[in-house]
Amino acid sequence: MHVYIENLSKHEGKEVTIKGWLYNKRSSGSIRFILVRDGTGIIQSVISKNESQEELFETADRITQESSLILTGVVKKDKRAPGGYEIIAKKLLMIQEAQEYPITPKEHSVEYLMPLRHLWLRSKQQNAIMRIRHELIKALRDFFDDRGFICADCPILTPAAVEGTTTLFEVNYYDLKAYLSQSGQLYNEATAAALGKVYCFGPTFRAEKSKTRRHLTEFWMLEPEVAYIDLDGIMELAEDMTVYAIERVLEKRKKELQTLERDLVKLEKIKKPFPRITYKEAVTIVQKKEKGFKEGDDFGAPHETIISENFDKPVLVHHYPASIKAFYMKRDTEDDTLSLSVDMIGPEGIGELIGGGQREDDYETLLTHIKKHKLTEDTYRWYLDLRKYGTFPHGGFGLGLERTVAWICGITHLRETIPFPRMLDRVYP
């Protein structure tokens, strides 16, 4: 019977068949230890040289790393074996002999591994990261689904900028120019008016001009949008969602987190409430370490790191100057220079995980800001309509999936948080 390695413990004492690849092997005298992986786990099989299984031993001797194989044997509990079980092999069939697999069990540099990403994904660490990413996506969707949000997808091909015109990827759209979506937000606002509470989850694109460890040119964003919510409500939603997702990953993916040697205590501390500070208060924190930082400037990666060092939970920074935020941000009625915006800055120097806020809901004000940002009014006609036909207070945010995966996994560079990263200098493989 074909069994996946992750389910082997349910088949103790029984004969099973594993279909996979050779992960590694070692030999000791007349014994061969082969490690087989099938994507769900790794299992050890011990094969000793004796007359009754000469062919089996010969195959074990000959088989190379990453050769595809089918192994049949009996599942045995063994405390010494990695994972607590091993297989007493009866048959080993090599499907294809892989020759000179370029990733050996020794350490390789990331520069070497990046062009081999299609193979690198087979490693134990990358497998763990992908499983955590999957769990996080599932948890985030469950969070919103359980609360009555409707997933309403937004287009990828769009006529307009959301987050400024400097990071747009332009594509030919027949006789027109179109852009790859930077964010589904504007469309979310329309579906929120239609459905009340919505979210979209999909790839977003930014032609980032600099090479940093926190920026991909293609990344996945989860964006909720809610009708009749205010800034406090948005912050609470972000906080509840984050706590829920972390709890789920801790519950379901402890083994993978351990594979990555993640400090679990740090994640276990992620409980409500998260600190909430104004942009002004954040500036004071930054200026203690960096005297030259000017109030009114946007925070860069080093500033976010300084802010995060003061907390062991994500921190919600709100009320940024309107001048450093996007055109759609609603202004504070008490101080027109401030926006009803919020960024959630993650701990351990991971940087901004979430950006969002309340949207400008007054037709004339929004039109003024569109003009001020030198955006073409015509492309935003439909968006302005939302303020013309039953305008409503609303808001939401976008969570960067890869930043969140990086934080949870305790890795610093986003390139390992997505199966095939796209960066300034990489579109291969």
Cβ closest to Mg ion, residue 184 vs residue 355: 355
Contact 180, 205 (CB under 8 A): yes
Q: Which does 398 bind (CB under 5 to 8 A by kind): Mg ion, ligand 4AD, none?
A: ligand 4AD
Cβ closest to ligand 4AD, residue 103 vs residue 384: 384
The one-letter amino acid at 218 = E
Half-sphere exposure in the Cβ direction for 181 (13 Å, CA) = 21
Q: Which does 208 bind (CB under 5 to 8 A by kind): Mg ion, ligand 4AD, none?
A: ligand 4AD
The DSSP letter of residue 10 is: G
Backbone angles phi, psi at 214, to 5 degrees: -105, 0
Contact 402, 208 (CB under 8 A): no
Cβ closest to Mg ion, residue 18 vs residue 353: 353
Q: Please report, to the nearest 10 degrees, the dihedral formed by the alpha carbons of residues 311, 316, 319, 322 taken in order.
A: 100
Cβ closest to Mg ion, residue 120 vs residue 219: 219
Q: Which does 235 bind (CB under 5 to 8 A by kind): ligand 4AD, Mg ion, none?
A: none
Residue 101: C-alpha distances to residues 5, 60, 71, 75, 428 (Å): 23, 17, 20, 29, 19
Shortest Cβ distance from residue 190 to ligand 4AD (Å)?
13
Shortest Cβ distance from residue 326 to Mg ion (Å)?
8
Cβ closest to ligand 4AD, residue 57 vs residue 199: 199
**Residues in 326-365 that interact with Mg ion by CB under 5 A:** 355
Start-to-end CA distance of the chain, whole Å, equals: 36
Q: Which does 41 bind (CB under 5 to 8 A by kind): Mg ion, ligand 4AD, none?
A: none
Q: Which does 396 bind (CB under 5 to 8 A by kind): Mg ion, ligand 4AD, none?
A: ligand 4AD
SS3 label, residue 3 = coil
Shortest Cβ distance from residue 22 to ligand 4AD (Å)?
35
Shortest Cβ distance from residue 64 to ligand 4AD (Å)?
38
Residue 393: C-alpha distances to residues 330, 361, 379, 396 (Å): 9, 6, 22, 11
Contact 335, 321 (CB under 8 A): no
Contact 214, 416 (CB under 8 A): no
Q: What residues make contact with ligand 4AD under the rule CB under 6 A?
A: 162-163, 183, 185, 206, 208, 215-216, 219, 221, 223, 352-356, 396-398, 400, 402-403, 414
Shortest Cβ distance from residue 42 to ligand 4AD (Å)?
31
Query: How many Cβ atoms are within 10 Å of 14's Cβ, its own excluded?
Result: 11
Q: Which does 321 bind (CB under 5 to 8 A by kind): ligand 4AD, Mg ion, none?
A: none
Shortest Cβ distance from residue 270 to Mg ion (Å)?
21
Q: Which does 219 bind (CB under 5 to 8 A by kind): ligand 4AD, Mg ion, none?
A: ligand 4AD
Cα 24 from Cα 284, distance rounded (Å): 53
Q: Which does 314 bind (CB under 5 to 8 A by kind): ligand 4AD, Mg ion, none?
A: none
Cβ closest to ligand 4AD, residue 76 vs residue 422: 422
Shortest Cβ distance from residue 356 to ligand 4AD (Å)?
4
Compute the Cα dihedral for 79, 81, 82, 85 and give only its sign.
negative
Compute the Cα dihedral for 421, 342, 237, 368 and give only its sign.
negative
The residues of the shown chain that bind Mg ion, judged by CB under 5 A, are 355
